[in-house]
Structure 1
Amino acid sequence: MAQRFEEFAAGLSYEDVPEAMRALLRVSFVDTMGVAAIGATTEMSQIARKSTLRLFGAGSAGAARMLMDGREVSPVGAAMAGGFTVDSVDAHDGTTPNKGHVGSAVFPALLAVADAMRAEGRAITGAEFMLWLAIGYEISTRAGKAQHATCPDYHTSGSWTAVGVAVAVARMLGASGEQMRHAAGIGEYHGPRSQMMRCIDFPTMVRDGVGWGAPTGVTAAYLALDGFTGAPALTCESEDAAPFWAGLGSDWMALADTHYKKYPCCRWAHPSMDAAVALMEENGLHHSDVARVEIRTFHYATRLAGHRPKSMDELAYSIAFPVATMIVRGGFGAAEMDAAVLDDADIIRISEATELIDDDEMTARSVAKRWAAVTLETKDGRRFAAEPRSARGDVDAPLSAEEMSGKYHMFADPVLGRARAEEIKALGARFDTLDAKGFAELLDLVLAAPQA
């Protein structure tokens, strides 16, 4: 018989977490903090933190500092503000089979509760935080797969990460297995069943739902601890969900599924972006040579229209504009997070000359990976076609350590300063080895406000 999810969460120890999973979470820690740093500069994050201060004052659970901000609110408020902050820049880790993201909810939620526990005098080690993260990642990943398989609509990451957060936070708070069942049920029931394609079609700051998924999960855990009931969570306990819980505790689904992003925009655009820049470099083309672009990709991706985005939210959920940016600038990074990019005439010209083609072959391929094929046509009539490719960053096509480091510093250094960014990176890369004092220092580094 498969291990029940509450038995897994209640009985797991740090030693039970495979070294490969620990290594993944170390990478995710540093990567997510880089995204949080640049995310803290966005209008979306600033609005979320302003509203959090108005609505979520600290209570008897202990004060928690908002991520990359330092001001104190409740742990639920800090989870919400942190979730919106990380989600404001679409560059965090993800899981392709779930069409979503685990870390953008789990990290802000667990950091918030850990800080509240610290404020109440609880010493927390890095090994403990690693254990809680592992629970949050694995439960979220499996609940997400179960939900996608059993629900007719495509819901945001916030809907299923609410379950993983609820269980992980319940473990943090010392809940029993039965209380964890209720926490999962409460988190699932009240989680934001927000339709992802609504935000794809009409991009706004609602994004991937984790700004509500993270605090919903935190709230669920505290409610369960106080005796509130909510079990069962259908994504964890229903007969239809059972196949997705097979091997729990021995086969780590999060380890197999987690990917990392090279560019700060929807990953559905990434294979086209890589293909376009490769064609430009291989054929010695200048952006002024390009007359039009054809992108053959899977159905959902063609909904990322955004040929002329008017906001950074619309840019995040587009393909034509990021591809045009790669053609014109040769890259897509922190500089392209400045709204001035939206008025770049060269990028606009190529973006508006880009055709998105809903391709059955690409749709059939795009299950475990996301595929696209790009063709460039020049003003003198030449055509350059790239073979279909998938996005890099998956387990079998990882970004190099140098690429991951470069991405982190590109995001973190201008916001935090090089010295603080380096310290976060050094400690984050071995956070599970830190004693209580060392982990408290790391909390201070990631929760304090950016440099003036």
Structure 2
Amino acid sequence: MSPPFHEFAADLTYADLPEALRAVLRRSFLDTMGVAAVASTTQMAQIAVRGAQAMFGPTATGSARILMEGTPLSPAGAAMAGGFTVDAVDAHDSTSPCKGHGGSAVFPALMAMADASANPLTGQAFATHLAVGYEVSYRVGLAQHATCADYHTSGAWTAVGVATAAARMLECDGETIRHAAGIGEYHGPRSQMMRCIDHPTMVRDGVGWGAPSGVVAAYLARDGFTGAPALTCEDAPPFWSDLGTAWRTVEDTSYKPYPCCRWAHPSIDSVAHLMATHGLTHTEIASVDIKTFHNATRLAGHRPASPDEFAYGIAFPVATMIVRGQIGVSELGLTTLSDPDILRISDAVRLIDDPHLTRISQGKRWAQVTLHTRDGRSFEDVPRTPKGDNDLPLSDSEISDKFHLFADPVLGAARANEIETLCSDFDSLSAADFTRLLDLCLTAPPRN
């Protein structure tokens, strides 16, 4: 019989973590830091830093530095700014069954807690806290999606996972952790994801408030604040029956090769395949038909006016792949939004709401693409799900290449290489070496 979630969180040890889980945490550490590096250069991240500075100065709980920025704030403030920063570039790790993202909240929050701690953490200790944060977040997300009518952002369910892991980091007992989860669920953002899909803006996936909500919940619980039971943890037994024996973090974590919404990825993969297989150039393309599931057809993006609309688009990212052959750092620049070749093809993308693909896009994301050329030919691909899912995983070398693509231009190759080396076995680092990793990730990169 599985233990209650709060006992699991209080009692978990590093020895309990299977090697497959440890490997996921290492990959996610590196992947998230690469995204954080490039995201720290965005307007969204810079606005979030100023907002956090206005509200969350250093306190008696200790100061924590903002991820990739370095300003000392309260742990909640650093979690808020860090969450918004990672979320500013939509390339962080994912969980398709929850239709969202865990690491974009869990890493900034728990790194802030670690930085504020009076006692430096070893890599093993931090890995165990991470495992709690991810596992509880994913199971809460599954329970929430099964029991709530609205599709809520990742901030809604990561608030509970962060609260649970943060209370553990504060050395709370099981019952206090239970209260922290209840506070995190009650006060966490129940933001509705489709509002951002329909109106792409900087509110993104809600983790900018989910992360600090969980941190504040932990401190409140530690000091005796009581919380209503977290219904997603305590009233949804099917999602907790194998806790501690099966790991959703291993089964459900996936990685994104492109910095845009996962819903667009199967179409991007498909056009890349068709263009390469048939030796096509973008000048030959007349139009593109994309059959996909209903929510994906609601993605904006034929003529995005901002990076937010690019991130939550499908037509424009697909056109970008056709024209540029990649969606990398250079494609995140504002000049991409006015590229006449990309705009021509984006305007010629037709999104088709396909009932069959909608039915089967439960825990997966399906699309089928047909390219039409100016000389009357058509090239139809098979239906696809995204590369990076567990059945089509990115290799370690692909994760590394992505990290350096994002991090090297911002941090410099030497700093990026040291982060990669330390992340590759962070869970075996001494307290001194893990503190070095935190320092590399929590200080500002050189700015031109």
When normalised by structure 1's length, the TM-score is 0.98
C-alpha distance in structure 1 between counterparts of 2:109 and 2:258, whole Å: 24
Q: CA RMSD in A?
A: 0.7
Contact 1:137–1:254 (8 Å) recurs in 2: yes
Q: Cα distance, 1:305 vs. partner?
A: 2.8
Which runs of 5 or more structure 2 residues have no equivalent in the other structure?
Answer: none
Find the partner of 1:267 among 262, 266, 271: 262
- The match for 1:281 is 276
Q: Which amino acid aligns with 1:316?
A: A
- The match for 1:156 is 153
Q: Counterparts of 1:8-407 in structure 2 under 5 Å?
A: 8-117=8-117, 120=118, 122-238=119-235, 241-407=236-402
Task: Determine helix, strand or coil for the equivalent of 1:390.
Answer: coil
Contact 1:69–1:450 (8 Å) recurs in 2: yes
Q: Which amino acid aligns with 2:46?
A: Q
Contact 1:83–1:210 (8 Å) recurs in 2: yes
Contact 1:62–1:75 (8 Å) recurs in 2: yes
Contact 2:93–2:101 (8 Å) recurs in 1: yes
Task: Determine helix, strand or coil for the equivalent of 1:168.
Answer: helix
**Is 1:416 the counterpart of 2:411 in the alignment?**
yes
C-alpha distance in structure 1 between counterparts of 2:386 and 2:188, whole Å: 30
C-alpha distance in structure 2 between counterparts of 1:152 and 1:364, whole Å: 17
Q: Cα distance, 1:228 vs. partner?
A: 0.4
Q: Cα distance, 1:123 vs. partner?
A: 2.1
Q: Cα distance, 1:231 vs. partner?
A: 3.0
Contact 1:292–1:378 (8 Å) recurs in 2: yes
When normalised by structure 2's length, the TM-score is 0.99
C-alpha distance in structure 2 between counterparts of 1:305 and 1:382, whole Å: 28
Q: Cα distance, 1:202 vs. partner?
A: 0.1
Q: What do residues 322-342 of structure 1 show as CA deviations (whole Å, max 9, x unaligned)?
A: 000011011111111101100
Task: Determine helix, strand or coil for the equivalent of 2:150.
Answer: coil
Q: Cα distance, 1:405 vs. partner?
A: 1.1
Q: Cα distance, 1:183 vs. partner?
A: 0.3
Q: Which amino acid aligns with 1:8?
A: F
C-alpha distance in structure 2 between counterparts of 1:375 and 1:202, whole Å: 27
Q: What do residues 208-259 of structure 1 show as CA deviations (whole Å, max 9, x unaligned)?
A: 0000000000000000000001130000001xx1100011011111110000
Task: Determine helix, strand or coil for the equivalent of 1:377.
Answer: strand
Contact 1:125–1:439 (8 Å) recurs in 2: yes
Task: Determine helix, strand or coil for the equivalent of 1:57.
Answer: coil
Aligned-pair identity in percent equals 64
Contact 1:183–1:231 (8 Å) recurs in 2: no
Task: Determine helix, strand or coil for the equivalent of 2:101.
Answer: coil
Q: Cα distance, 1:70 vs. partner?
A: 1.0
Which runs of 5 or more structure 1 residues have no equivalent in the other structure?
Answer: none
| Matched positions, count | 447
Q: What do residues 259-302 of structure 1 show as CA deviations (whole Å, max 9, x unaligned)?
A: 00000000100110010111111111111111110000001100
Contact 1:326–1:332 (8 Å) recurs in 2: yes
